[in-house]
Structure 1
């Protein structure tokens, strides 16, 4: 059995409870203090996102507030009691949800954790009656784009946007039909 398959078998995916979201926030903020790690480079530096914007986006209060709306669900990947990654999905309306984030932490990259998180999010959205899952990736995010395409998403648009922090970004939007 390949090593990544063995690691995959040890990972448990679950819907995050309030205490999990609090722990996730602390972990994210601690990880993002190290500006040399890949997760920072891929999710912050590449887009020129200001540090205060990132700290606010991943603050415990921000994440808990999103979950409290009932429209946002966090799924976490656990290796024992260690968080290996997470997915954040938000209902846009009765039939469309957006996969806002899927992040796998450095020591778990390329071990199938992202795919497991995505599959759990899809199952959850199917149960809610969602018909389409939307995901966005930066035009230059080759790894993220391959991930979505490999998992059945199709590209539906490419748009130049004004990011909230004042930069222009080209976003590629993907969709996956999950309930027909």
Structure 2
């Protein structure tokens, strides 16, 4: 069983370690956990940032089980902000236990309460398991009424 709650700046160190674990698991270039923790400490004080932390409480003590990071930005096409799921991670040994669903559900509820009617997620095309997870939760890359996929492009700002 896991406890899932909105994270606070006091959770920055744990979130920094989880993000470092996530990045190293998938062989993504990353800063040290301490650098990531400092960024979390700064970001978690902003009203447009929502983080969710899951903790495993099946043992003698609670341990980090997963997290999500969501940013909100103004939108021109509706009154509320659009939310972007930046990260969602579950510790490998705790996967397939519903923790990811709990984290996603709370994230969606929190941003909905903040007025966001829509959440965006970027997923690598080759990551079939992650794509299935989000599709199971109602996310699509082909909107109703069209026959083409939505794509996300990344580029430099210079």
TM-score, length-scaled by structure 2 = 0.78
Q: State how far apart, in whole Å, the 1-side matches of 2:96 and 2:138 are.
A: 18
Q: State how far apart, in whole Å, the 2-side matches of 1:146 and 1:120 are.
A: 19
Q: Does 1:12 find its partner at 2:7?
A: no
CA drift at 1:155: 0.7
Which residue number corresponds to residue 23 of structure 1?
14
SS at match of 1:158: coil
Contact 2:66 2:89 in 1 (8 A): yes
Q: State how far apart, in whole Å, the 2-side matches of 1:110 and 1:69 are.
A: 32
Which residue number corresponds to residue 154 of structure 2?
161
SS at match of 1:138: coil
Contact 1:13 1:77 in 2 (8 A): yes
Runs of 4+ in structure 1 deviating by more than 6 angstroms, as ranges, are: none
Gapped regions of structure 1 (runs ≥ 5): 1-9, 33-38, 165-180
Contact 2:9 2:45 in 1 (8 A): no
Q: State how far apart, in whole Å, the 1-side matches of 2:65 and 2:47 are.
A: 24
Contact 1:97 1:130 in 2 (8 A): yes
Structure 2 counterpart of 1:115, from 89, 98, 101: 101
Contact 2:54 2:65 in 1 (8 A): yes
SS at match of 2:32: helix
Q: State how far apart, in whole Å, the 2-side matches of 1:28 and 1:91 are.
A: 19
Which residue number corresponds to residue 96 of structure 1?
82
Q: Which has the higher strand share?
A: 1
Contact 1:28 1:58 in 2 (8 A): no
**Cα 1:144–1:27, aligned 2, differ >3 Å: closer, same or farther?**
closer
Deviations 1:111-140 (A, max 9, x none): 111011000011111111111011110111
Gapped regions of structure 2 (runs ≥ 5): 75-79, 143-149
**Cα 1:136–1:86, aligned 2, differ >3 Å: closer, same or farther?**
same
Structure 2 counterpart of 1:72, from 45, 49, 53: 49
RMSD between aligned alpha carbons?
2.3
